[in-house]
Structure 1
């Protein structure tokens, strides 16, 4: 998945843009494999990560919880924001009910304010988070 590394006060922070397939019949294995591959980054202890985007996963999905493991935290939960329903935004009769978009932080980072913002032309809302990398 695309990403880039930024020097923030002498710390190298790797930002990774996430967009997995949906965990639907025919694509379940591919979706799980994407999360498993992201989880391999836990082994890179000299790199700190911020993952953001469409994980197509909620806390009800074991592979998402496995990805977080004991190293990564969800910014919305870390900040005390609670549920961040971000999908779907393009159905008038259906409210946003799924929190499948996340900002995920490496250990030691702190999430401040989190906010869900509708984005014109997308079926997902954006999740904005203030992060202190410490």
Structure 2
């Protein structure tokens, strides 16, 4: 991730409704949530939701997929992982006593634990 991409992602999240949308999608996980359900849960009109989703999509944080007649939105987990790594990669010049496992946590953000199957 570069500075421009990080600014775009942070800018997209720097609005109350978009942050709520993103957090709700993060909660839904990879399966996502339909546009209608998402608008209802966030408490915005569908047209307003479309505007906010477009901002998140341009920043690479959200993806849309069409399933039959519905559109489902979900988070791009790798994009958030890359943003967190970008923000924490130089944490305190790598001082483990200050940063602890912050960078390691960012690197593993969103990974699915192995189930042994």
TM range (shorter): under 0.3
Higher strand share: 1
Higher relative contact order structure (alpha carbons within 8 Å, sequence separation ≥ 6): 2
Higher helix share: 2
